[in-house]
Structure 1
């Protein structure tokens, strides 16, 4: 296997220049960087990951704790994991997936992974107020970035990337309004969820802006499941709310609503317009297809990796991205 000195000799540059090409390519002229990279490829040079990260504090292997979703069908996790791994690979890095208990019980796992130099930094998700991971990672000087904000905190405990859920819900309301809907219900999660409150706030504010009623039209589900989506939809219909539109906090709840509408002989997309959130794989295969808000997973993953690895392009350490409404048959004009 080639050495750093052999690469330098082949490219006719100094050892430091080869090191810069590997660890700080922005410091080199484009022609020099191209020459060094060609030599690296021709000689099949592979840097020692542990030595490199010890010397430069570079983030080479990135740890991500795969969340446990009790009583939920989280249909977008595969999409996010694929996007995250692909974004890391594009920069010559890799993702190490692991599991750990929530809260302080999971901290030994993070400590062990870093102490054994199995990872150099972490992407976090399911962050909470007073999350013990933030303080510990800061104390240890370990790089991290969060997918999602910590709710009910004026100052975020670290860098983050998130999707504007309020803007997404508002976009769904506006779309249903433009297709003739005037009594638009919202299917949400328990109040304890900051994400749920954010998306519910977007529905509420946009309804008010458009002069639409909201009283009695927002219902909270006990969990994110098809059965709960069907149950609360049935409750709205049985209560005589005369709804003609439903904005659901997730695709799972929206699919439950579609199931209940079908059971009652109602045509989704005509008598009642329905939208979901996440644009999960099932949204395109059910009939009618589910109109849903797509989270920009590739962009999310790319920004997470940029922030974590300290890309020198002025990348902000806080990024709020916009979802895209993908329109299908479930919200056809009434």
Structure 2
């Protein structure tokens, strides 16, 4: 049997005082002389209630300030979560690539967690247990043990601009490094330079190899010889640019132009030239690679090969999502086109 509120307010047609029990459907049904089901129909706007009954019930609901219980709100489904890892310092190159991942995640309603690599014994399984659905590794140097851990955990991997030649079954996103190296060298040749040097990153890095091959291909196409001392490797750092430029400028026949494997190296070249009293581009033309913020704010602004870092980040995020839901990809490796951006660090010889 329904419990009826027999307080004075319930029988008087007046609202219950503050602190009184909340008016229920049973109370209104009792006062109106109808069933609880009928009152419920009125509350929910059902049409199968006689007009007179509806008016009487609505009046009682109003007088007794009936408030429907708050419906249990459905909890939103958790957002898909992608882990993004990078090693070392957060350099402009990495920051722009991460920005592309985050932009795409915002558009697609995806959560992104950015971290430094953790190589504990259960690192991959720990990522899965905390809800990660795929991993994007930025310029990661992966090992067989790294790949095995991800395979055993069932965590898909996308490498963004891999340092080494991707394994046949590793999914990756990168730029057209060879084409970029070719375009940079063609630009310098078109300005009349023949003594063009190349300052690169690690000799074993896939990106460095492709860029130096593009450089050599452009030189060979114009039948311009490349002295062995004109090609140097190091790290993708400012210091490599400074030291490499010093060695090049000490040669008996120094270059009149330098193609650097990234913007940091290029800026190191510019600084060494400055300390030697050389002007860029009047005495030495310099081309970089990446087109990060560094290239745009340099003095002079740097001619460089733009690799679409933000777009690459977006493609990596979308690829990771496809892998997370078990989609089959058309290709394990995606390359996005580079573009030469001419600024003030190059000039005719």
TM beyond 0.5 = yes
**1:120-155 per-position Cα deviation (integer Å, ceiling 9, x unaligned):** 1111233446343322222332222221347456x5
Equivalent residue, structure 2, for 1:310: 322
1:112 and 2:132 are equivalent in the alignment: no
Equivalent of 1:231 in 243, 251, 260: 243
**1:240-273 per-position Cα deviation (integer Å, ceiling 9, x unaligned):** 2231110001111111111111222222122221
What does residue range 1-334 of structure 1 map to in structure 2 within 5 Å?
Answer: 47-49=76-78, 60-69=80-89, 74-101=91-118, 105-106=119-120, 108-117=122-131, 119-128=132-141, 130-149=143-162, 151=164, 155-310=167-322, 316-334=331-349
Cα RMSD for the two superposed structures: 2.5
Count of residue correspondences = 274
Where 1:120 maps in the other structure, the secondary structure is strand
Offset, 1:45: 7.2
Where 2:335 maps in the other structure, the secondary structure is strand
Offset, 1:182: 1.0
Offset, 1:171: 0.7
Relative to structure 1, is the Cα distance of residues 268 and 287 closer, same or farther in structure 2, using a 3 angstrom cutoff?
same
Equivalent residue, structure 1, for 2:49: none
CA contact (8 A) 1:296 1:322 kept: yes
Partners of 1:168 and 1:65 lie apart in 2 by: 26
Where 2:345 maps in the other structure, the secondary structure is helix
Offset, 1:226: 2.5
| Bigger mean CA deviation after superposition, 249-258 or 233-242 | 233-242
Query: TM-score w.r.t. structure 2 length?
Result: 0.71
Relative to structure 1, is the Cα distance of residues 226 and 309 closer, same or farther in structure 2, using a 3 angstrom cutoff?
closer
CA contact (8 A) 2:124 2:153 kept: no
The structure that has the greater radius of gyration is 2
CA contact (8 A) 2:168 2:332 kept: no
Where 1:49 maps in the other structure, the secondary structure is coil
CA contact (8 A) 1:306 1:315 kept: no
Query: TM-score w.r.t. structure 1 length?
Result: 0.74
